[in-house]
Amino acid sequence: MTRFSLLLAGTVLSAGAWLMPAHAQSTGDDSPLDHVDGQPPAEGTEGVPAGEPVETEAPNAPDQQAAFPDQSRAPQPAELADVTVETVADALPRLWSMEFLPDGTMLVAAKEGALHIVSAEGEAGPAISGVPEVDSREQGGLLDLALAPDFETSGRIYYTFSEPGEEGNHTALGTAVLTADEAGGGALEEARVIWRQTPSYEGNKHFGSRIVFSPEGNIFVALGERSDDPIREMSQDLASTLGKVVHITPEGEPVEGNPFIDQEGALPEIWSYGHRNIQSAALDGEGRLWTVEHGPRGGDELNRPEAGLNYGWPVITYGLEYNGGEVGEGITEQDGMEQPVYFWDPVIAPSGMALYEGEEFPSWDGAFLIGGLVTTGLVVVHMDEAGERVAFEERIPLDARIRDVRVGPDGAVYALTEDAGSDSSTILRLTSAD
């Protein structure tokens, strides 16, 4: 069993004291919610021996079968990491994302629509000016952050947010030059929106989103399908960017060679489609995009989105509707639609994702670290030698909803928590206890 030394506000916490709420599913907003119910997942504190699946709870959809071995409930690795956790910043506004700046400070995005720079001492500077207006109701707000590959010389950043408009709201991708000041704040200069999701919709859920730069310097934006029925079926509509991964240039234009760029009636920026609500995305060691999306009541999915492929939602899916009924026809496979590489039932409620490459946790090298909103910790996904399927899964309980995760310049892992009740966040630093 993983051993944990927790140094949170000077208190050592007992793993046996960590409990999940009875209602534990989530689509990305506050958990629990009245419309969100289902079987709670394992946290990683259950004492399951190495070599056995960490998930021991019953699935929400017990009659559904995986399409291939270890597509779900992969075993834990033979040796589990020993982790020490300490708080490096607390009493922060409720945050959604974070990025390390070259000087070791962090740029963080507050859901309500503010950017701050957090010092190496864990202090948040004044709000940065020039941030656009956001619709922060429910799952909306200022969302993901990414530094341009040439940030050290250009100072350019990219950010997604739920942008209000005359016909509702939508996810937008903005860019600006970040200029810091001596007071620990700064300004966004030359701020502009370079891409907008279509169509707009008067809703407050499933905005996605994550920003990932490709090795070529172009941008993947991973999105949601706005949740409601009807509207979610537009995930299958190539004339819409709901429920899609889009592939655009740093100026917001479709990338040449995109799969639908010459197809009549299809939007040229679309890379892949049939997604539900992606809030985790990262490149692997070969530069390939991987995503994790929120499923319904069961059915969170790990995918490797490939050009032009259909990932099925809402035609095929694992899991159930929140009311316990079948999603559509209740099928999990169909010709022309991709299977997830891995799925979770019960869900983990993913948010944030990083590829671990470092010396602090040698056993995690090449693994994906995924934030868990309802597992209240990190989910560590170890890939097989070919890098195509999941070999092992382990969970690092942190007793908090994890909204984002990053690997720091020191090789440690940093997890961003959120507490909707107090409208606040903390930043945790994970190091090896060995």
Classify strands 4-7 and 83-93 as parallel, antiparallel or unpaired. parallel
Single out the residue of 385, 373, 431 nearest to residue 81, CA to CA.
Answer: 431
Q: How many residues does the chain have?
A: 434
Tokens of 177: 């030059």
Q: Residue 59: how many CB atoms within 10 A of its CB?
A: 21
Contacts (Cβ under 8 Å, ≥6 apart) of 245: 220, 221, 222, 223, 270, 271, 272, 273, 275, 278, 289, 291, 305
Concerning whether 382 is annotated as a catalytic residue, the answer is no
Longest CA–CA span in the chain (Å) reads 61
Place of tokens 């008067």: 202
Report how far residue 140's alpha carbon sits from residue 142's, in angstroms, rounded to the nearest whole number: 7
3-state helix, strand, coil in the chain (%, to 5): 5, 40, 55
Please identify which of the residues 23, 35, 170, 206 carries the catalytic annotation: 206
Classify strands 106-110 and 350-355 as parallel, antiparallel or unpaired. unpaired
Judge whether 376 and 361 are in contact, CB under 8 Å.
no
Query: What residues act catalytically?
Result: 206
